[in-house]
């Protein structure tokens, strides 16, 4: 498997994990209100889906852009880490694997042109010994 393909798989894994994290936050009963566990959607309403989905949209950017994938993926990984640090006391840590997956994809996108380059032709039968 080529390094570029591995990078794409890591980036799409970050998007898939982000979608799973949003679904978890929206539907899993995680907030205690009046002694009962309630889902975040029920407590805060449908408008909370937009800010919770921002990390998924950020992880989607390097997956769909056709150029400068390594640079964009590093920027998105940094932005996700800033989001995680700002929201660490509420929902931030849930998105940590998405940031790690994006960072891994960025590293692999940077290595892909080097690793996937064709090897020089091997002309050993045509060489003459000195």
What's the CA angle centered on 31, arms 27 and 35, to 5 degrees?
Answer: 125
For the segment 82-110, what is each residue's pLDDT rounded down to a tens digit?
999 998 888 889 999 999 999 999 999 88
| Separation in Å, CA 99 to CA 16, 21, 71, 79 | 12, 12, 14, 9
30 — phi, psi (to 5°)? -130, -5
- Model pTM? 0.81
Q: Percent of the chain at pLDDT above 70?
A: 92
Asked if residue 16 has pLDDT above 90, the reply is: yes
pLDDT (0 to 100) of residue 29: 87
């Amino acid at each position: 498997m080529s390094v570029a393909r591995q990078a794409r798989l890591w980036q799409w894994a970050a998007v898939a994990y982000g979608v799973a994290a949003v679904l978890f936050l929206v539907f899993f009963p995680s907030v205690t209100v009046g002694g009962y566990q309630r889902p975040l959607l029920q407590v805060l309403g449908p408008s909370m889906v937009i800010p919770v989905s921002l990390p998924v949209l950020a992880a989607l950017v390097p997956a769909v852009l056709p150029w400068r994938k390594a640079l964009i993926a590093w920027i998105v990984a940094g932005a996700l880490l800033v989001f995680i640090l700002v929201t660490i006391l509420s929902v931030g840590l849930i998105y940590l694997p998405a940031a790690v997956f994006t960072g891994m994809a960025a590293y692999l996108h940077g290595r892909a042109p080097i690793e996937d380059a064709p090897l020089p032709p091997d002309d050993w039968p045509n060489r003459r010994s000195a």
